[in-house]
Amino acid sequence: MKFIHYLEGIAGVGVFPLISLLMFFVFFVVVTVWAIRADKDRMEKMERLPLQPDKLNDRNIKM
C-alpha cells in the first residue's frame, strides 16, 4: 500500500500543504525585511568576525 493511500483517509489533509506554504512564505518575507532593515555597521562587524581570530569573543557587538 502506498503512502498516498494513508493520507487519503485523513479528513481535511489538503489544508496542510497550504499551511506549510503560508508558513514558509511568511518566514521568508520576515527574514528578507529583517535583512534589508538590519544595521549596516553591525553587519560589517559580523562580516569581519571570521577574519579576526583574536577577537572571537568580542562582546562589543550588540545583538
Give the tens place of pLDDT for each residue, 1-57.
576 777 677 777 778 889 999 999 999 999 999 989 988 998 888 888 777 665 555
38: three-class secondary structure by DSSP: coil
Q: Which of 37, 40, 61 is nearest to 49 (CA)?
A: 61
Give the pTM.
Answer: 0.55
Q: Residue 13 in 3-state DSSP?
A: coil
Q: Where are the domains of the chain?
A: 3-55
Kindly state the cell numbers that stand for 60.
562589543
CB-CB contact of 63 with 45 (8 Å): no
What is the pLDDT at residue 37?
A: 93
Assigned C-alpha cell, 41: 555597521
